Every structure is written in C-alpha cells, then in structure tokens.
Amino acid sequence: MKKILFAISLIVAFPLFGADPGARGPLPVTREEYNFGDTAFTPTNFPGPVELLASVHYPTGLPGGPYPLVVFLHGRHATCFTGRTGFLLWPCSSFSAPLQPIPSYRGYDYIAEVLASNGYIVVSISANGINARDNFVRDLGALARAELIQKHLDIWNGFNTVGGAPFGSKFVGKVDLTRVGTMGHSRGGEGVVRHFVLNQSLGSPYGIKAVFPLAPVDFNRPVINNVPIAVMLPYCDGDVADLQGVHFYDDARYNVAADTAAKDAIVVMGANHNFFNTIWTPGIFDAASADDWNAFVPGGRSDPHCGQVKGNARLTPDQHNSQFNGDTPPPPSATTDQIFLMFQAPAAARLDVNRLLSAGDLTTNTLGGAVAQAGITPYELCGGEAPEPAKCLPAERNSRQPHTTPSARSPKRGLSQLQAGWSSVSAFIDNGLPKGTRDVSAFRTLQFRASVNFGDARNAVGVPQNLTVVLSDRKNTVRVTVDTVSRSLFYPPGEKTHVPKLLLNTVRIPLRAFQNIDLTDIRSVRFEFDQTDSGALLISDIAFSN
Amino acid sequence: MRLNRVLIVAVCLLLASSLYASTLEDLLNMPGTVLGKGSNNLPVGQFGVKSYKVEELTLTEPVIVDGQTINAAKAWRVTINGGPFPVRDQAAVISVGGADLMPAREGTDLSVVATITFDQSMLTNGAVITLSYGEDTTVLPEKLTRN
C-alpha cells in the first residue's frame, strides 16, 4: 500500500518536489474534513443520492499560495460496517441496525500527507453512495463519479472565492483551480478519465493538468488527449485482473494529431489491487478488506510470483521526465525496482518510425520507408482493428493479455501488435527511413514497446530475451544490444490463472549509445535477432523520442 | 379553458408517472413469485456460492433505468446466495444458459448477489447458472429447475 506514493507523482506534474517525491516535504500539514450530508447530491439519472464528504490535507497555515489542488477518488468497495462485517447500502443509517460508513476516502491519507507537505491541497472524496448503486447504471457509475468530482471542484471554487462552511474564509485565494490533478483508484480510475471528458464538455472551467488512473477499470473506453495521463497497473491485481486500464494508454496514443501530452503506463510487479488503499488492507482496517490476489483468484495463493506480497512494491513520484520515461531508476521511496514503463512522448517530441497499426505497416512504415524482414515467423499483426485477430494468443485468458481484453460497455478492439518469432540468429526486421526523415539528431532515444511472448515455446521459460538494435547512416552501422540498456524484455513471471501477462513495456535506447553514427542521416532502424537462437516477441510503437 | 384542463391533466399524469416509477433497486426488494429454487447448502468456489432462486415480479408501475422508462408487466429476479460476496470493482455477472444478465448487485449483508431481467427466454429448465467476476467463473452445482 505504501507503493502509491509514486502514483501521485504523475498527478503532480508541477515541479514542487525535491529529489525523491516520495519523501515528506518541508511543510507541516493539517487535515480537516467537510461533510454536507449523506444525501446531499444526486448525479444525473443516478438511482439515489450520494454524500458530499471529503478529507482535506493542506500545508498548515497556508502560507503563500495559491496551491495546486489534487483530487483523489476511491474505487468500489463495501460501504458500511459493524465489527468486521461489511455491508452494501447507502446511507448506512437506513439499515435496521447501527452501521458505520467505511471511510474508503481516508485510505490515501498517507500520500495526501506527503503531497501536502510538498505544497499541495489534497482532497480525497467519499463515494460510498455511488458504490451502493452503480452496478445498476449502464456505465457502471462512470458519469456519476465524474459529476461527483465536478461537484467537489465547484465546492472548492466557492471555498476559494467567497469562502464557506466549515472553513470560513480560510481557503479564499489559496486554491489554484487552474492547476488540478486527479487520481482515481479502480472504478474511480475510470471516473477521473470520465471527469476530464466532462470538465472539457463544460468548457474546462477547471484546469485539469494531469490524470492518474490507478488500477482502473475501463468499462466504457473513454479516451483523453492533450493532458498527461499515467495509468498504474499492478501486475498481481486480483480484482481488475485483466488490467483493462491499459486501454487508457493504448487508445490515446495516436487518437489526435499533435497531441501535446506525454503518456505513461506503469507496471508494478508484485503489487495487488487493494493495498493502495489502507482502508482496504487487512491488518489496518479489518472490515470487508482483503488481499485481492489471495482472496479472489482461484489458485492464486500458490502462484510463485503473485501468491505472496512482494514487500513494498511502492513506486515513487516524479522527477517526471526522468522517472516516468524509464530513463532513471525509481527513487528510494519506491522500495522496489521491479517497475516497468510504457511511455509515449508528446507528438512534437517524437518521430514515429512504425506504429504497426495495420497490415500496410508490415511493408511500408509510418515514415513511408520500406520495411523488410527475413526469418521472421510469424510476421503478422494481432489485437487491433479487423481483420487482425482480436487476441494475439487465442488460447489464453484475456487477463493474460491486457492489451486486447474486451470492455464491458464498448466494442472497441485493443492494441495492434506485431507478432514476431525467429528460429535463426540471422533473422531481422528492417525499417528504412526515407529521404527527408533521416535527421533524428533532435531526439534523445530510439524506443519501441515489446513483450516476451510466453505463449511461444521458442522462449525459454523464465529467461529474458534479447536482440540487437542497429542504426545505419550513409557510411556506418552501429549496434546496441537491448540488455545493455533495458530490462523490459523479461520473461513474464507467474503461472496461475491471471499470470503470466503480455505487457508491452517500452525499451528506450539512448541515441548516445550508438557511437560514431551520423544522427542527421539515419538510413535504417534494424532489429537483429542474433542474441538468442530462437524466440518470439510482441512489438509496437517504434519511434525516435525525447 | 378546455385546453388548460387537458394540459393540467397531462402534467399531473407526467408527475404521477415519475412519482410512481420503480427503480431496479425497488425490484430487488419487492416480493415475487418463486419460479425455481435450488437447495444446495455446500459452498462452492472462491466465494462460497451455494444456490439460486428465480422469481417473477409483477410490475404495476414503470421502471426507470438510466433515466429511461421501461414499461413492462413482468420482470424476473435471479438471486444467488452464499458469500459473503466481495464488493469489487470488477462487476459480478450472473449468467443463465450462457446469457449474461445485467451486472448483479450484492445484497445489503453481502450474502446474496442478484440481478433483474426483463427477458425470461433464458430462464429455461436445465439452464446452467454461473457467477463471474471477469473471467473468474463459478458454476452453480444445480441447474435451473422451474416449478
């Protein structure tokens, strides 16, 4: 659960943190709440009223300011309890016996404190009323959650302008509503994405500067662009085990031209679904809490990777540009280095060599250059739009291939991937760069996404893959082997039920690693599969990038 | 004058229809006629699923779902008992005869999950009943037997 410190780093793309954003900052912190009642708000067409209740962490005394605002929204969980027993209804007072509300909104206090100590106002809002009824709404509560966030932002607009109970004038002029970050966990994850869409549809009254879905559902497949988004994916998620939230990243990549925002997906090995919220964590709050992997996954307890909690897989924040593109290891507060990233730079900061979106990309790449291959079998696309097969591994469960897992409320397809295998060290795939596209000197890295295909017996179980990336200019050819710069070609661990998983993490190779090459005149990018006798990968998104 | 009366009556009818409409939650709680019920008491699978009950509901008012009004004379409620069922982010889905019904809701004390359908075509004798969260599926030990 401590892992989540990093979650916030994305939200807060504002440069307030020190070297390790998981570390507590210099400011003392005060926590207060506001509560306008259990039935104070009814979202559109929602079958019942919900509460307006939130926990607020802020720098004590609010010196200076205005401060950026971060909004947290928890996910779906039991709503009421007595003793160790959970219940689902709202409000709790409507039950025949005394029940207390489960304070899911308090489950992120640990990171709210860290953020506030670094100069943020953090509002974690309660959504028990939505949880009690959202399964009977077509979108499973996404719009209701979005409207609840917007309602709280309206409340904060009031606190910031004219003040109001219970805070009086304390926050007047102290809240920068042009700099808002949102983090939503699970159904709250889709909620914050849906909220971005809602706020935009209202003329963007609030400046949403970053969106962080944590272990999110993506039932409806909303897509957002021109805002930094980072999706966190716990590898051992026992609830949203198909990691469907990866669609938020995949769907947004080429959705609009000239997208100004970077995108990240962060895979945390060994992390489960619930422990990011302390109120959902047994031993901290015992009513209705569970280790979702052990409790929900058939056979999950005995899995060699996920069957045990891997210490604190806590990732860290920020140093946004470096931490979130994978160029540097996570800071100490992450307490694990088993973190893998998918990263896409804004459109202006990259040159797409081959997006691998349709069959034509197998012969002519995104730049218009020729694509050639030898010894690659299969050499075909899967997972994207028809006629590609909907799944890359037809015999495997959806939860083992998140990029193509279906959505409950949308027919959208998944990530188009090149399925490639080799049985000879002479195999290669070559992407030519046509005239006019050969100057890549403005970029720092060559990158692509890949996953070791655990469904292909040419990969030795448990053994990482490797290949050579070759850049050629007019005169020279320079080689870099991937394992010297990246750990992303690991063999996906686990063997029970939902693991192993195909996750196409990003391999980033610094262009400085290609010595004695003319970066103003690159003629081709070649993958040579000469490091192992045989193997198979899923590949996408080949690009020069910053 | 006559037009005003007509308008007033129309407005009253409109108000009445919205005042006297049911929600799916109402349908979860209203009395029904049991069409079929299992008797297994041994918990099965990850969530201790035991048995099922299928009931027919006679509707006397419209039902509001997602802001839309459904005018139906009958609905059917499918309930699975066992548990306690976790309140998860992945939705619980009851399937009968291979047809997924709309996502189920956990009962107040989490000892049941239940859903509503306005189509009874899948509620046939011998139909297999399952409870799923994503791809984690528990098949109930008893098939549907109608009275």
At B28-52, the pLDDT tens digits run: 999 999 999 999 999 999 889 999 9
CATH 3.40.50.740 fits A2-75+101-344, yes or no: no
Residue B5 lies in a domain: no
Range of the domain at B81: 22-139
Predicted confidence (pLDDT) per residue in A391-421, tens digit? 999 999 999 999 999 999 999 999 999 999 9
The residue-averaged pLDDT of A360-367 equals 98
| CATH class (in words) of the domain with range A350-545 | mainly beta
Residue B146 lies in a domain: no
In the predicted structure, residue A13 carries a pLDDT above the cut 80:
no
Pairing mode, strands B63-65 and B22-23: parallel
**What proportion of chain A, given as a percentage, has pLDDT over 70?**
91
The residue-averaged pLDDT of B66-72 equals 91
B29 close to A (CB below 8 A): no
Please name the residues in contact with A429: beta carbons below 8 A apart, sequence gap of 6 or more.
A371, A372, A373, A376, A379, A420, A526, A527
Q: Report d(CA A259, CA A241) in Å as an integer.
A: 30
Residue B15 lies in a domain: no
Highest mean pLDDT of the ranges A14-28, A57-71, A268-282? A57-71
Residue B108 lies in a domain: yes
Residue B125 lies in a domain: yes
In the predicted structure, residue B114 carries a pLDDT above the cut 80:
yes
Name which of B49, B68, B87, B95 to mutate to probe chain A: the one with the most chain A Cβ atoms within 10 A of its Cβ: B87
Under 8 Å between Cβ of A247 and A414: yes
Enumerate residues 335 to 394 of chain A having a beta carbon within 8 A of any beta carbon in chain B.
Answer: none
Highest mean pLDDT of the ranges A211-225, A268-282, A312-326, B5-19? A211-225
Q: Report d(CA A261, CA A229) in Å as an integer.
A: 8
> Which of A62-66, A291-295, A481-485, B66-70 has the least mean pLDDT?
A291-295
Q: Report d(CA A214, CA B89) in Å as an integer.
A: 12
Burial A284-294 (b: 16+ CB within 10 A, else e): ebebbbbbbbb
Q: Is A104 helix (H, G, I), strand (E, B) or coil?
A: helix
In the predicted structure, residue A14 carries a pLDDT above the cut 90:
no
**What proportion of chain A, given as a percentage, has pLDDT over 90?**
83
Q: Report d(CA A97, CA B109) in Å as an integer.
A: 12
Helix (H), strand (E) at residue A528: strand A524-528
Q: For chain A, give percent helix, strand, coil, nearest 5.
A: 20, 25, 55
Q: What is the reported pLDDT for A2?
A: 43
Taking CB atoms and an 8 Å cutoff, what residues of chain B touch A45? 66-67
**Side by side, which strands form the sheet with B92-96?**
B99-100, B92-96, B129-133, B136-139
* End-to-end Cα spacing for chain B: 56
Q: What angle do CA A307, A311, A312 make, to 5 degrees?
A: 125
User: Residue B139: beta bridge partners?
Assistant: B130
Q: What is the reported pLDDT for A297?
A: 87
| B89: closest CA of chain A, how far (Å) | 5
The residue-averaged pLDDT of A437-462 equals 98
Name which of B23, B28, B90 to mutate to probe chain A: the one with the most chain A Cβ atoms within 10 A of its Cβ: B90
> How sure is the predictor about B16, in pLDDT bands with cuts at 50, 70 and 90?
very low
Under 8 Å between Cβ of A427 and A262: no
Q: Report d(CA A391, CA A370) in Å as an integer.
A: 27
Q: Do A48 and B109 touch (CB under 8 A)?
A: no
Q: What angle do CA A130, A132, A135 make, to 5 degrees?
A: 85
Q: Do A290 and B87 touch (CB under 8 A)?
A: no
Predicted confidence (pLDDT) per residue in A255-291, tens digit? 999 999 999 999 988 888 998 899 998 888 989 888 8
List C-alpha distances in Å: A145 to A76, A180, A279, A545, B85: 11, 17, 20, 35, 23
Q: Is A40 helix (H, G, I), strand (E, B) or coil?
A: coil
Q: What is the reported pLDDT for A12?
A: 44
Burial of A144 (0-12, 13-18, 19+ CB in 10 A): buried
Q: What is the reported pLDDT for A290?
A: 87
Q: Report d(CA A338, CA A329) in Å as an integer.
A: 10
Q: What is the reported pLDDT for A310?
A: 44
| Minimum-distance CB partner of A47 among B24, B92, B107 | B24
Q: Report d(CA A102, CA A86) in Å as an integer.
A: 8
Q: Do B89 and A273 touch (CB under 8 A)?
A: yes
Mean pLDDT across chain A, nearest whole number? 92
Q: Do B136 and A497 touch (CB under 8 A)?
A: yes
Q: Which of A477, A479, A504 is nearest to A490 (CA)?
A: A504
Residue B115 lies in a domain: yes
> Which of A339-343, A371-375, A406-410 has the least mean pLDDT?
A339-343
In the predicted structure, residue A367 carries a pLDDT above the cut 70:
yes
Task: Please count the other Cβ atoms lying within 10 Å of the Cβ belonging to residue B100.
Answer: 14
How many structural domains does chain B have? 1
In the predicted structure, residue A339 carries a pLDDT above the cut 90:
no
In whole angstroms, how large is the CA radius of gyration of chain A?
A: 24
Q: Where are the beta strands (DSSP E) in A238-315?
A: 263-268
DSSP A50: B
**Residue appearing with tokens 């005018």:** B71
